[in-house]
C-alpha cells in the first residue's frame, strides 16, 4: 500500500506556484492546486498502478479524492481507468460516489472517462445514469452524456448498442431545452463524435432539435458532418 502522504508528496514535488495560481483562476473552484501538468500526474499514476492491487488502488483513489487537491482528484480518477476489472462493483460504487461532488469540467471529465469503462463492462448501469439526466446538479446531469461517449464511436454497433445510442439521444433531445452552456455543450460533443460514424442520424437530430441549441454549439455539433447533397 502507498500511504496517501507519499502519493501527495510525489505530486507536490513538481509543484509550480505560478501555474497553480493560473489553474485556480481558470477553474474558479476554491481548492488547493499544485500547478502540475497532467502528463506528470499520469506518470505517477502509472507507477502506482503497477505497484498496487486493485483493492489498494481503490483505497488510494478514495483517499486522494478526499484530499480535495486538484491534482490528487485527477490522479484518483486516472487510477480507476481500466477496461477489464472483475469484479468491479467497488470501483463503480466509488465513481458514483464522486459524481455529486463534481464542481468543474476538468475533474468531471477525468472521472467520466473512468466511468465509461464501467458502463462498457456492464451496460445495464445506463439505468443509473437515467436518473442523473433530471438532476438539479449541473455536473451530474452532464456526466450522463459524457460517460456514454463510447457509444458515439462504435463503427459496427450491435443492436443493443444502437438501443443505448437512441436512449442517450432521447436524453440529448431533452437537454436542448436546458439553457445551461455546459449541458448543451455535452450534447454538441456527443453529436460531433457521432457524426464521424452516423452522420444521417446527427442530421436527423439537428433537424428536430437544433433550433433549440445555442448557435455556436449547433455549429460544433455539425463539425464532422459531410455537406448534404
Bond prior to 87 in cis (omega within 30° of 0): yes
Instruction: Report the largest interatomic distance among the alpha carbons of the chain, rounded to a whole angstrom.
Output: 61
Of 125, 58, 51, whose CA–CA distance to 85 is shortest?
58
Instruction: Look at the pTM and tell me if it is higher than 0.85.
Output: yes
Kindly state the cell numbers that stand for 41: 500526474
Helix ranges (H only) for 52-124 are: 54-67, 70-79, 89-98, 105-121
> Which pLDDT belongs to residue 83?
82
> Which pLDDT belongs to residue 229?
64
Bond prior to 73 in cis (omega within 30° of 0): no
CA distance 225 to 179: 24
Kindly state the cell numbers that stand for 221: 455539433
> Which pLDDT belongs to residue 95?
98
Task: Provide the Cα torsion 171, 139, 180, 222; round to 10°.
Answer: -60
CA distance 63 to 36: 19
> Which pLDDT belongs to residue 11?
98
Residue by residue, DSSP assigns 122-152 as -GGGHHHHHHHTT-SSHHHHHHHHHHTGGGG
Collect the ranges in the chain with pLDDT lower than 50.
none
> Which pLDDT belongs to residue 14?
98
Of 127, 77, 129, whose CA–CA distance to 104 is shortest?
77
> Which pLDDT belongs to residue 227?
84
- Domain map of the chain by residue range? 148-229
The gap from C-alpha 229 to its chain's centroid, in whole angstroms, comes to 35
Q: What is the pLDDT of residues 128-187, one digit of tens each?
A: 999 999 999 999 999 999 999 999 999 999 999 999 999 999 999 999 999 999 999 999
Amino acid at each position: 500500500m502507498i500511504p496517501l502522504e507519499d502519493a501527495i508528496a510525489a505530486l507536490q514535488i513538481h509543484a509550480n506556484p505560478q501555474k497553480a495560481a493560473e489553474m485556480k483562476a481558470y477553474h474558479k473552484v476554491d481548492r488547493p492546486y499544485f500547478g502540475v501538468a497532467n502528463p506528470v500526474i499520469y506518470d505517477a499514476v502509472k507507477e502506482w498502478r503497477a505497484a498496487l492491487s486493485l483493492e489498494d488502488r481503490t483505497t488510494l483513489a478514495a483517499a486522494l479524492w478526499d484530499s480535495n487537491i486538484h491534482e490528487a482528484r485527477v490522479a484518483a480518477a486516472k487510477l480507476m481507468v481500466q477496461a477489464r476489472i472483475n469484479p468491479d462493483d467497488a470501483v463503480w460504487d466509488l465513481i458514483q460516489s464522486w459524481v455529486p461532488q463534481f464542481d468543474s469540467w476538468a475533474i468531471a471529465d477525468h472521472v467520466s472517462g473512468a466511468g465509461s469503462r464501467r458502463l462498457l463492462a456492464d451496460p445495464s448501469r445506463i439505468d443509473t445514469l437515467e436518473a442523473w439526466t433530471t438532476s438539479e446538479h449541473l455536473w451530474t446531469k452532464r456526466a450522463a452524456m459524457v460517460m456514454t461517449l463510447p457509444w458515439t464511436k462504435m463503427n459496427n454497433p450491435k443492436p443493443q448498442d444502437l438501443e443505448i445510442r437512441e436512449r442517450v439521444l432521447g436524453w440529448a433531445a431533452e437537454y436542448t431545452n436546458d439553457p445551461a452552456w455546459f449541458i448543451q455543450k455535452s450534447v454538441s460533443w456527443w453529436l460531433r463524435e457521432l457524426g464521424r460514424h452516423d452522420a444521417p442520424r446527427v442530421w436527423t437530430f439537428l433537424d428536430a432539435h437544433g433550433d433549440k441549441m445555442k448557435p455556436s454549439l449547433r455549429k460544433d455539433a455539425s463539425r464532422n458532418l459531410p455537406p448534404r447533397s
